[in-house]
Amino acid sequence: MALDTPAYTRPVVKPTPSRPPDEELLALSEMVAGYPPLDAPVVARLLGEVGYEDLDQDPRRQLVQHHLWMVLEAATSAARPGTSTADLFQEGTTALLKLVHGLSRHDPLEPAEFQRQVRAAADAAIKAALDEETRLRDQDEQWARDGERVFSLEAEMRIETGESPTDRQLATRLGWAEERVRQVRLAVAEAAAAHDRELLETLEEMEEE
């Protein structure tokens, strides 16, 4: 009888960052430097102006722009090897936008409390992003392990019987749900096909040269 297993989700391939990490961080730093921190009286004024539509400049936009430095600090302090600081910065900025657009002029925050909330919101969003990244990495590693088990057992059973085993036969031997076996076999086949395509493209490029 197949063991109960949690929902099994196919792995998601994340795109490769478009620029090296050092250049990525430099670009962010240069952008944020254009919006330096504001003095507390200026922040207090902007917090008090939130919601008024007859102003020359949008106080919400200014609050967001001039607190991006806090988001960048949170992103760089939380970043770890293999993690895109730009992705973390984006998550923190989204949290900052939500915070600022939820402000009300009827009950303005003190500057220190607003900045505390900015950092807390950025930290929470960045932590959630890192937790999700860890979950996806663990999931991908589990898929790799499962693929190796299915591949090895399939080869073993083919030698035993002279035929390729069915999903049900593999599931019975592994103690898995049949759907899980089907998904793993499909993923292995897709990975093998992708590898073959890459190899063929490489050989064609070598022939052209």
Give residue limits of the domains in the chain: 21-136, 139-208
Structure pTM?
A: 0.71
**Class level of CATH domain 139-208:** mainly alpha
pLDDT-derived band at 209, boundaries 50, 70, 90? low
In terms of phi and psi (left: phi > 0; alpha: psi -120 to 50; beta: otherwise), the region of 140 is alpha
- Quick: pLDDT tens for 35-73: 999 999 999 999 999 877 666 578 999 999 999 999 999
DSSP label at 207? H
Please give the CATH topology (third level) of the domain spanning 21-136: Rna Polymerase Sigma Factor; Chain: A (1.10.1740)
Listed in order, strand segments (DSSP E) in 46-183 are none
Q: What confidence tens digit (pLDDT) does each residue in 179-199 have?
A: 999 999 888 888 777 777 877
Per-residue pLDDT of 151-173, as tens digits, reads: 899 999 999 999 999 999 999 99
